[in-house]
Amino acid sequence: MSTELSQPAEDPSAATILVVDDESYVRTIICRWLSEGGYRSAQAGSAAAALEYLQQHEVELVTLDISLPGRSGADVLPEIKQRWPDTEVVVLTALGEAKLAIEMFTRGAYAYLVKPVDPGDMLFRVKKGLERRRLVLENRRYTRDLEDKVRKQTATIRRAHEETILRLVNASRYRDEETGAHIKRTGLYSECFAQVLGWPADQVENIRMAAPMHDVGKIGIPDAILQKPGKLTRDEFEIIKTHTTIGAKMLAGSESAMLQMAHDIALGHHERWDGKGYPQGLAQSAIPEAARIVALVDVYDALTHDRIYQAALPENEALAIMEEGRGSHFDPFLFAIFFSLLPQMRRIAAENPDQPVQDYARRQRLPVPLSSSSLEAAESPAAV
């Protein structure tokens, strides 16, 4: 049994002390001392009664006798500390062995007092135990609040960082056929890929922000070529291809993991699985995985949305074209994942539709036939 004593009238917020001892007169004396010290108290005559009380009430500190009927105090002490780690425990015992005292401290006791206990000494230990508990809780709250502030500040910084990046990307897209929605979709598609691949959360976030920068190098391509309404000559197409190295140079040398990924994507998103891409002719796993992902989602989005040089294709036709590039143009493993992600990608596309841009109306749309050459057309303005 356990019986809660009356709360001291002068301090409604007084701490609750649970007195655990098999001797009722000892419990009564200790409770009287605690009441005179300004604390609330409750009694338990066994380990089982103590655990029952702790389950049902908030207790700041326990005075625990070692010699109890059934489970001993030494046995129940670790359970108390495991289940209620913020509850301090002061051990009271008639056994004054140093070895036992060390064992009790090892099991989580805050203090160890030998009976007969001096009331002043006991109240001092209780006071110090409660002070330690308060400091631990305050430090935990401070740490939690600090972590929350850091998370919010980090989120604010990342949003500002992302806005800066998007403004940089927009500077290049205003000179090209890209739309802001395409740029955003590319990042969201890539984020889905990274999540399915089990990337760490920070890298998933990085590719969402880095993928939209894949064509940032087009800012360095002359308008006469970039905005040419008809087909490009072979020489002009070679110049277009340099947007990969221009973008990589713009993004090189940063200590930011996100910008390092953006560098790899800008440089490698036109590489091919079979090594016949550009600018370096890399093949298979030599191409950074982030660039292989963007190569897929960029083509998918280009084929299924209106571009200045081509009208959108029905998705089944776009997928048929892309299927021809499995294992040659695209990483076959990522291609299989791509098909499993189509429902999410359709949802992203529906939530981020293109907005018509009047400036682009002057450029003639060129129909694209259903063939593997459409893959190249999807990656750049139509070339001879």
Give how far the C-alpha of residue 79 lies from the chain's centroid of Cα atoms, to the nearest Å. Answer: 33
Q: What is the SS3 assignment for 330? A: strand
> Do the beta carbons of residue 262 and residue 293 sit within 8 Å?
no
Question: Across the strands, what pairs with 20?
Answer: 44, 64
> Do the beta carbons of residue 109 and residue 102 sit within 8 Å?
no
Q: Which of 218, 228, 241, 249 is catalytic?
A: 218
Give how far the C-alpha of residue 360 lies from the chain's centroid of Cα atoms, to the nearest Å. Answer: 39
Euclidean distance between CA atoms 170 and 8, whole angstroms? 68
| 218 part of the active site | yes
Q: What is the SS3 assignment for 119? A: helix
Euclidean distance between CA atoms 147 and 14, whole angstroms? 30
- Spell out the residues 6+ positions from residue 193 whose beta carbon is closer than 8 angstroms to its own: 207, 293, 296, 297, 334, 337, 338, 341
- Token pair 């007169």 is found at 25
Active site residue ranges? 218
